[in-house]
Amino acid sequence: MEQVNVTLTETIKVLLDDKKFSTLRDILVTMKPYDIAAIFENLQDEKMPILFRILPKELAAETFVEMDDETQEFLIHGFSDSELKEVVDELFVDDAVDLIEEMPANVVKRILRQADKDMRKQINELLKYPEDSAGSIMTTEFIVLRPDMTAEMAIKRIRRTGVDKETIYTCYVTDANNKLIGITTVKDLLLAEDDELVKSIMEENVISVTTLADQEQVAQMFSNYNFLALPVVDNENRLVGIVTIDDAIDVIQEEATEDIEKMAAVLPSDKPYMKTSIFGLYKKRVPWLLILMLSATFTSAIISSFEAVLANVLILSSFIPMITGSGGNAGSQSSVSVIRALSLGEIQFKSIFLVLWKEFRVSILCGITLAAANFVKLLLFDLHGQENAFMIALVISLTLVGTIIMAKLVGSSLPLLASKVGFDPAVMANPLISTVCDSLSLLIYFGVAKLILHL
Amino acid sequence: MEQVNVTLTETIKVLLDDKKFSTLRDILVTMKPYDIAAIFENLQDEKMPILFRILPKELAAETFVEMDDETQEFLIHGFSDSELKEVVDELFVDDAVDLIEEMPANVVKRILRQADKDMRKQINELLKYPEDSAGSIMTTEFIVLRPDMTAEMAIKRIRRTGVDKETIYTCYVTDANNKLIGITTVKDLLLAEDDELVKSIMEENVISVTTLADQEQVAQMFSNYNFLALPVVDNENRLVGIVTIDDAIDVIQEEATEDIEKMAAVLPSDKPYMKTSIFGLYKKRVPWLLILMLSATFTSAIISSFEAVLANVLILSSFIPMITGSGGNAGSQSSVSVIRALSLGEIQFKSIFLVLWKEFRVSILCGITLAAANFVKLLLFDLHGQENAFMIALVISLTLVGTIIMAKLVGSSLPLLASKVGFDPAVMANPLISTVCDSLSLLIYFGVAKLILHL
């Protein structure tokens, strides 16, 4: 869709300059909120309020939700209180909460002042829940049915109360104490006989989460069970909210990005790349770079402690990057496979021995292949004409086998151990593992060299 | 959920051995297909058919869909034709297609023979579409309405035809030629007046994709627009199917896994880690290991060509891993940020100069920080007492600045260039970039060394 916006943005800028407001409105109402929001982000600040006022009320609110926080904040500053109220009234509670979490205190005050009493209460409820918890991404607007309603009554109720609900398709059946006793869907209600009772239609084995459940786990449940919405209950199993699938998808994307960033030794960010400031990126990247650079002290120490060996056979030093590199790559292959399997819930810590045994066999295959290829390459090219080329080639090739086996075992076990002690496995990925593998592979290298070359 | 299954599996195994079938049935009907499938995968083969026959027909089919292909194939081999027919009849067309794509030819024949004529036709239609296309993940079962129906008629029609549809909540309005002219939702229909006409309720600006659209782009649209389903049309804008959100989520997960694997130089796999054979893992990992090892020839060549320099100041060799390592990490940080932004559609190739300028400024900050920290560290520890320690520390620190800048520019530009020429940016990630960075950083290293140490 991006491509579309880019060209459209130009047209819209022109129409704005020419004050062709009715034309603009005609165009905008044919567009999706996400695309309109993208256009706002490409607009000069002073144009934004003008364009925003052209939007019909509901579309305006839907578009507002899709904007990044800079744009939202800028618009709010330009809003009159009544304009702000119009937007806030149209927001779903969970979107209002997302907004408030991004805004500075003074803006938050203004927003809450415009929200009607009931909404303000709900917002404050939701703000209590910890970040990344089910409570923090749930909405408190959902359809509640009673077990002894008929399908017909249920449908009537949905038609009466559904208009301001984020989703009406999954309905929640609660008893007098507001405890969740079942769920049913509009589909089942529509396909049932008019006089069938909700309690006979509803699914009683409800899967629900508590308000404190981790959002990643919640999102995973959506993809496992194909839910459209998931009920959130308190400790007494009272229904307090629902997580809708659109929010679950956002979480899935977020968590994937977070894992990927951690694997590349970047501190997880909550902002899109292009929206992150230079200093913001710096702060996310430099810590790991420093840690990894300092930890490279070990490799330096190891190498200088073997200076004697190197001085004897200087050529050995020229294969250090190849050996550490191969080790690092082999290690990150294993760690990433394990990390992903962990975050998709395919394996847990208890499978560690299965995993190690698997990785061990794979590493032998990989190690021998690499060593063989490398041995030939060394004798034919790199070491051609070099004195005792054969022995040196042997050293390097044996080192490769050892390094690959070591790297794959380290790479697969570290993330599992991390998950066991409650660390995030993704942090164990790639760079950290390569630093460990670098040191170990050098020890293997020089060990083998001393042994075979009798140094 | 996994944890739950594990313990439950034991109970179920016992009950199976004791032939407590009615108890088993009582337990199973309270469970979700995904969890039942997980239990099957932990069962000995000979037990599977027994447990499967205990399941009620519909639940059996739903569970069957959630199983991995080994389990499915094994069960099918045990099925009588009538048992197979029972399962196939319960499948949604798109699930049937997924199944067939995984099964060997002889099994496919059996399945198709059991499918009724109409379904076989639909299946064969869907099988024509290329893998990873919208056509290959869509279902052909959806609710079609006509523009001049009333809301009441529409609801009646949904109640009559909805039962065997995967989703009824988004309804598609087509004209006499089956061209897609609008969409509406059960919500809108329920909230509308009984006698309102569909054409006045429906949304006319429909976003649809063609059968050949890339599934990744399709999935991205779900997360951008919060769709529950997305219509798929042919070149004449005739409605041929819909993609439902559950399939979109699976695609999002798949694509994230694929990106992560590629970033770690693993060929993308379609199977969960634990289900992949040793040789399967080997085949996915060894190609890149080989390529990267061989490409390390450059680094070796560079180092040996500077043997003179090293011979003079042997200590320089001990910092090679630290320098190449820092370069590799800095490069992969940038590449991963860019790759993720690309696959989330946040940036395109045309922003390359914005990106480079951004990365350049970030890299200067990072480079100077690392160099400073390293300079102090070198003088206080590594080079303590070493002759002309100051000059050597200077060489290494200046090299770091140059390396970080180089690495971040390479790391951010390669993925963008790849996307431009139609390669997968993810493949450009980490390992490939580190190999490039390794060579370049060594050139910087020895260049600076020769310059400052007058070698």
- pLDDT higher than 80, residue B211: yes
- pLDDT of the residue at B2: 44
pLDDT mean over B444-448 = 94
Instruction: Report pLDDT digits (tens) over B158-169.
Output: 998 887 787 889
Cβ-based neighbour number of residue A100 at 10 Å: 17
Greater model confidence, A353 or A429: A353
The yes/no answer on whether domain B1-127 falls in CATH 3.30.70.20 is no
Q: What is the three-class DSSP state of B450?
A: helix
Structural domain boundaries in chain B: 1-127, 142-264, 274-453
Cβ–Cβ under 8 Å, residues A48 and A75: yes
- pLDDT higher than 70, residue A47: yes
Segment (H or E) for A230? strand A229-233
- pLDDT higher than 90, residue B8: no
Cβ–Cβ under 8 Å, residues A445 and A303: no
Contacts of B214 (CB under 8 A, 6+ apart): B132, B133, B134
The CA distance from B99 to B94, in Å, is 9
Q: Please judge whether B205 and A299 are an interchain contact, meaning their C-beta atoms are less than 8 angstroms apart.
A: no
Greater model confidence, B3 or A353: A353
- pLDDT of the residue at A274: 82
Q: What is the three-class DSSP state of A96?
A: helix
- Indicate the residue type of B427: V
Among partner residues A34, A256, A382, which is closest to B300 by beta-carbon distance?
A: A382
- pLDDT of the residue at B199: 95
Instruction: Report pLDDT digits (tens) over B143-157.
Output: 999 999 999 999 999
pLDDT mean over A171-179 = 94
Q: Which CATH class is domain A274-453?
A: mainly alpha
Q: How far is B248 from chain A (nearest CA, A)?
A: 9
- pLDDT of the residue at B6: 56
CA–CA distance from A335 to each of A45, A307, A406, A410, B292 (Å)? 45, 32, 12, 8, 18
CA angle B271, B274, B279 (to 5 degrees): 75
Q: How far is B218 from chain A (nearest CA, A)?
A: 11
Short-list B199, B179, B185, B181, CA closest to B239: B179
Residue with tokens 């990643």: A216
Instruction: Report pLDDT digits (tens) over B262-295.
Output: 887 788 877 888 888 889 899 999 988 898 888 8
- What is the side-by-side order of every strand in the sheet holding A229-233? A209-210, A229-233, A239-244
Per-residue confidence at B1, pLDDT binned at 50, 70, 90? very low
- pLDDT higher than 90, residue B361: yes
Q: Where is average pLDDT lowest: A1-5, A326-330, A395-399?
A: A1-5
Distance of CA B367 to the CA centre of its chain: 34
Among partner residues A273, A362, A377, which is closest to B285 by beta-carbon distance?
A: A362
The CA distance from B86 to B57, in Å, is 7
Cβ–Cβ under 8 Å, residues B364 and A285: no
Per-residue confidence at A180, pLDDT binned at 50, 70, 90? very high
- Chain B environment of A319 (Cβ under 8 Å): 300
Mean pLDDT of chain A: 89
Per-residue confidence at B75, pLDDT binned at 50, 70, 90? very high
Residues 386-415 of A with CB under 8 A from B: 400, 404
The torsion angles phi and psi of A70, rounded to 5 degrees, stand at: -55, -50
Read off the tokens for B35: 């969890």
The CA distance from B295 to B434, in Å, is 11
Query: Considering all CA atoms of chain B, what is the largest pairwise distance in Å, rounded to the nearest integer?
Result: 94
Cβ-based neighbour number of residue A82 at 10 Å: 8
Residues 338-367 of B with CB under 8 A from A: 338-341, 344-348, 351, 354, 358, 361-362, 365-366
Task: Count, in order, helices (H) and strands (E) of chain A.
Answer: 23, 6
Cβ–Cβ under 8 Å, residues A136 and A166: no
The CA distance from A416 to A182, in Å, is 37
- pLDDT higher than 80, residue A181: yes
Judged on CB neighbours under 10 Å (0-12, 13-18, 19+), A220 is buried
Read off the tokens for A338: 């394990």
pLDDT mean over B432-451 = 90
Residue with tokens 């910890």: A130
Question: Where does B142-264 sit in CATH, by number?
Answer: 3.10.580.10
- Indicate the residue type of B294: L
- Chain B environment of A250 (Cβ under 8 Å): 223
Q: Where is average pLDDT lowest: A20-24, B423-427, B433-437?
A: B423-427
Short-list A361, A320, A346, A265, CA closest to B285: A361
Q: Please judge whether A431 and B345 are an interchain contact, meaning their C-beta atoms are less than 8 angstroms apart.
A: no
- C-alpha gyration radius of chain A: 30
Inter-axis angle of helices A297-305 and A278-295, nearest 10: 30
- pLDDT of the residue at A451: 93
A142-264 and A274-453 in the same fold: no
Per-residue confidence at A413, pLDDT binned at 50, 70, 90? very high
Per-residue confidence at B312, pLDDT binned at 50, 70, 90? confident
B187 interfacial to chain A (CB closer than 8 Å): yes
Per-residue confidence at B429, pLDDT binned at 50, 70, 90? low
Which residues, listed in sequence order, are joined to residue A173 by a DSSP beta bridge? A145, A182
B259 interfacial to chain A (CB closer than 8 Å): yes
- Chain B environment of A322 (Cβ under 8 Å): 293, 296-297, 299-300
Closest residue in B to A439 (Cα–Cα): B321
Going by the DSSP 8-state scheme, the letter that residue A238 receives in this structure is: B
Cβ-based neighbour number of residue A228 at 10 Å: 19
CA–CA distance from A11 to each of A71, A350, B107 (Å)? 20, 59, 56
pTM over 0.95: no
- pLDDT of the residue at A297: 85
- pLDDT of the residue at A3: 46
- C-alpha gyration radius of chain B: 30
The CA distance from A99 to A55, in Å, is 20
Among partner residues B191, B289, B310, which is closest to A159 by beta-carbon distance?
A: B191
- pLDDT of the residue at B3: 46
pLDDT mean over B410-429 = 85
The CA distance from A422 to A337, in Å, is 19
Mean pLDDT of chain B: 89
Question: What percent of chain A stands above pLDDT 90?
Answer: 50
Q: Please judge whether A263 and B314 are an interchain contact, meaning their C-beta atoms are less than 8 angstroms apart.
A: no
pLDDT mean over A339-354 = 88
CA–CA distance from B167 to each of A183, A223, B140, B143, B246 (Å)? 17, 16, 11, 8, 10
The CA distance from B362 to B405, in Å, is 8
CA–CA distance from A197 to each of A150, A176, A200, A402, B161 (Å)? 4, 17, 5, 68, 22
- pLDDT of the residue at B310: 86
Cβ–Cβ under 8 Å, residues A428 and A334: no
- Chain A environment of B400 (Cβ under 8 Å): 293
Which of B260, B271, B307 is the best substitution to test chain A (most A C-beta atoms within 10 A)? B260
Q: What is the three-class DSSP state of B53?
A: helix
Q: Where is average pLDDT lowest: A26-35, A73-82, A133-142, A257-266?
A: A257-266
Short-list B310, B327, B350, B326, CA closest to B450: B310
pLDDT mean over B383-407 = 93
Among partner residues B191, B245, B351, which is closest to A162 by beta-carbon distance?
A: B191
Q: How far is B272 from chain A (nearest CA, A)?
A: 7
pLDDT mean over A179-193 = 93
The torsion angles phi and psi of A210, rounded to 5 degrees, stand at: -90, 165
CA–CA distance from B336 to each of A265, B135, B360 (Å)? 10, 30, 16
Task: Count, in order, helices (H) and strands (E) of chain B.
Answer: 23, 6
- pLDDT of the residue at A1: 40
What is the ipTM for the molecules in this complex? 0.81
Among partner residues A260, A274, A293, which is closest to B347 by beta-carbon distance?
A: A274
Residue with tokens 């390794």: B438
- pLDDT higher than 70, residue A100: yes
Judged on CB neighbours under 10 Å (0-12, 13-18, 19+), B198 is buried
CA–CA distance from B84 to each of B93, B96, B106, B152 (Å)? 15, 12, 14, 39
CA–CA distance from A122 to each of A178, A211, A412, B9 (Å)? 17, 14, 45, 41
Question: What percent of chain A stands above pLDDT 70?
Answer: 98
CA–CA distance from A408 to each of A43, A336, A337, A350, A443 (Å)? 50, 11, 11, 18, 16
Instruction: Report pLDDT digits (tens) over A132-158.
Output: 899 989 988 899 999 999 999 999 999
Cβ–Cβ under 8 Å, residues A67 and A94: no
- pLDDT of the residue at A429: 63
